[in-house]
Each structure stands twice: as structure tokens, then as C-alpha cells.
């Protein structure tokens, strides 16, 4: 019994000594944090989504306090947060709200598969292992990688095999766009008005596009030819709109035989 008691007392004494040593060295090597960082951190939403370009809200708060980041870089907090930060550290508070959109309509019904995929159920894995599980190499793979990284429940996989964006919940944080291996999720200004393409197929072979996906842009250029403002050009097989000229007249939407163009 005396051996057990002696061991316990020695352990307690050692723990006490180590505690004192840790406390001492903590005081010696302590780095005082700028109180401004804490004030800024309290204002941030705490989403830690990385949309600001920093690894979480703590990193962004420190960068703002040091003057290394602007006050308009948090899409989650938006304009309200920018105004609060402006009152705290100064600077112009102007945030352009953004929203994610899917530039693909390759549903189960529209886009044909190459065959039965039995690999890891991930868009990135499917892309790496097969190039694309669909005949259209640019189409949505349909495994919902974008849905899994969304912290705001703004994305859901539809029964038709492609994700759907809840624009009311979307903060424009770009997490889904960064995760998508096909690069078919675009983040655009919420107030953007004009026509936009809903296809990312760069294949210029019209017959092949039609065989692979019934919703793909067939490069007929009717949108280009019928635009009264001449604000649409075909670039790499995709209609690109000059929004400085677009008047949302809808001529391109009406003339498109596949209904690839849509008004926002």
C-alpha cells in the first residue's frame, strides 16, 4: 500500500510542478492579441466558408485588423456586415450580392451515360477515373459534391440528377463552384440582368452534341444572328453575352431551338 501511496504522491507532485512550469512559460512567451481582432471576430457570421480568401473567420478578422484585407470580402455577412466593419475600422462599405447558377441541364432524361459507373460516388472521383460518366464530357456528374460542401443548405440534388440552387439561401460563397470538377457552377451578381447560357458543352460538333445530350447547345448561332444589340458572340462553342449591351429583349431565348438561353 505504501508503494501505491508513494507513487500517487509523486505523480501529484510532478503534475503540480509541470502545471507551474507551463503557467510560467505561458506568461513568458505570451503574445498579446490586438483587441481589435476580437471585436471584428464578434461581428463575423462564423461560417468559416473561406469565401473571403482566408482559412476561416479568425484569419479574416486578423487580416482586416492589420489592414491586409478589405471589409467587403465576406459574402455571407453581406452589406450589413460591411457597414458594421466600416464603422469599426473605416473604409467604403459596398458589397455586391452574388448567387450560384448551374450551367448545365444534363438531367437523367436528357444526357446519356457512357455505361454503368461502379466507382466512388463522387463527381471528382468520377471525373478522374472516367473523364465523365456521361457522353457529354462537360456535363454535371450528378453525385452532389457541390451539395456536400454547401454550408447554407442552398443546394439540393434533384430527382432528375442535377443540383438545384435555392437562390434565397445562397450566399455566393463560391464553395460549390470551387468544388465542382466540371466548373459548371458559376457565381454571378444577383442583380445581373440579361440572357445567359445554361450549357457548358464546348464540343463544336453539332451532331455529337445532339447525340450525347438533348439539352446541349448545338452551336447553331441563332442567338448570335438574332440579337438586335449584337451583344452575343460564340466563344469556344458557348454563347457569351456582353451585359453592358444586353437589354433583356429575349430574342435569343425565343430563337434558341434547344432553349439553352434564359433570362435573369
Could you read off the pLDDT of 32-47 as tens digits, one per residue? 668 898 999 999 999 8
Mean pLDDT, range 242-256, rounded to an integer: 95
Instruction: Return the pLDDT at 212.
Output: 93
In CATH, the number for domain 35-89 is 1.10.15.40
Mean pLDDT, range 244-249, rounded to an integer: 94
Burial class (CB in 10 A: 0-12, 13-18, 19+), 126: buried
Least confident of 3-7, 27-31, 218-222: 27-31
Could you read off the pLDDT of 177-207 as tens digits, one per residue? 999 999 999 999 999 999 999 999 988 888 8
CA distance 88 to 78: 16
Do 35-89 and 193-200+216-264 agree at the fold level? no
CA distance 15 to 38: 33
Model confidence at 132, pLDDT cuts 50, 70, 90, reads very high
Q: Which CATH architecture does the domain made up of 97-192 adopt?
A: 2-Layer Sandwich (3.30)
User: Which one is predicted more confidently, 68 or 10?
Assistant: 68
Model confidence at 94, pLDDT cuts 50, 70, 90, reads confident
Question: Could you tell me which residues come within 8 angstroms of residue 198 by beta carbon, excluding any fewer than 6 positions away?
Answer: 102, 103, 104, 105, 215, 260, 261, 262
Q: What percent of the chain stands above pLDDT 70?
A: 96
Asked if 107 contacts 214 with a C-beta cutoff of 8 angstroms, the reply is: no
Classify the C-alpha dihedral 85-86-89-95 as positive or negative.
Answer: positive
Q: What percent of the chain stands above pLDDT 90?
A: 72
pTM, 2 dp? 0.78
- How is the chain split into domains, by residue range? 35-89, 97-192, 193-200+216-264
Asked if 87 contacts 109 with a C-beta cutoff of 8 angstroms, the reply is: no
Model confidence at 3, pLDDT cuts 50, 70, 90, reads confident
Model confidence at 31, pLDDT cuts 50, 70, 90, reads low
CA distance 104 to 133: 15
State the chain's mean pLDDT as an integer. Answer: 90
Model confidence at 168, pLDDT cuts 50, 70, 90, reads very high
CATH entry, 193-200+216-264, from 3.30.413.10, 3.40.50.1220, 3.30.70.600, 3.30.70.20: 3.30.70.20
Q: Does residue 30 carry a pLDDT above 70?
A: no
Model confidence at 14, pLDDT cuts 50, 70, 90, reads confident
Q: Does residue 29 carry a pLDDT above 90?
A: no
Amino acid at each position: 500500500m505504501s508503494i501505491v501511496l508513494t507513487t500517487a504522491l509523486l505523480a501529484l507532485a510532478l503534475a503540480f510542478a509541470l502545471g507551474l512550469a507551463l503557467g510560467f512559460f505561458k506568461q513568458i512567451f505570451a503574445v498579446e492579441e490586438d483587441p481589435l481582432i476580437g471585436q471584428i471576430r464578434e461581428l463575423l457570421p462564423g461560417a468559416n466558408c473561406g469565401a473571403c480568401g482566408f482559412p476561416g473567420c479568425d484569419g479574416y478578422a486578423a487580416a482586416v485588423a492589420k489592414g491586409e484585407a478589405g471589409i467587403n470580402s465576406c459574402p455571407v455577412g453581406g452589406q450589413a456586415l460591411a457597414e458594421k466593419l466600416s464603422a469599426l475600422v473605416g473604409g467604403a462599405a459596398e458589397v455586391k450580392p452574388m448567387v450560384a447558377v448551374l450551367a448545365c441541364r444534363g438531367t437523367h432524361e436528357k444526357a446519356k451515360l457512357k455505361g454503368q459507373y461502379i466507382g466512388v460516388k463522387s463527381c471528382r472521383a468520377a471525373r478522374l477515373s472516367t473523364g465523365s460518366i456521361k457522353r457529354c464530357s462537360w456535363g454535371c456528374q450528378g453525385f452532389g459534391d457541390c451539395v456536400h460542401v454547401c454550408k447554407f443548405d442552398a443546394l439540393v440534388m434533384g430527382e432528375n440528377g442535377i443540383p438545384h440552387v435555392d437562390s434565397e439561401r445562397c450566399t455566393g460563397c463560391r464553395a460549390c463552384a470551387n468544388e465542382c470538377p466540371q466548373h459548371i457552377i458559376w457565381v454571378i451578381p444577383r442583380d445581373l440582368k440579361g440572357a445567359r447560357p445554361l450549357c457548358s458543352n464546348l464540343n463544336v460538333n453539332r451532331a455529337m452534341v445532339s447525340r450525347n445530350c438533348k439539352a446541349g447547345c448545338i452551336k447553331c448561332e441563332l442567338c448570335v444572328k438574332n440579337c438586335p444589340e449584337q451583344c452575343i458572340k460564340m466563344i469556344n462553342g458557348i454563347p457569351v453575352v456582353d451585359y453592358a449591351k444586353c437589354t433583356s429583349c429575349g430574342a435569343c431565348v425565343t430563337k434558341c431551338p434547344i432553349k439553352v438561353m434564359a433570362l435573369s
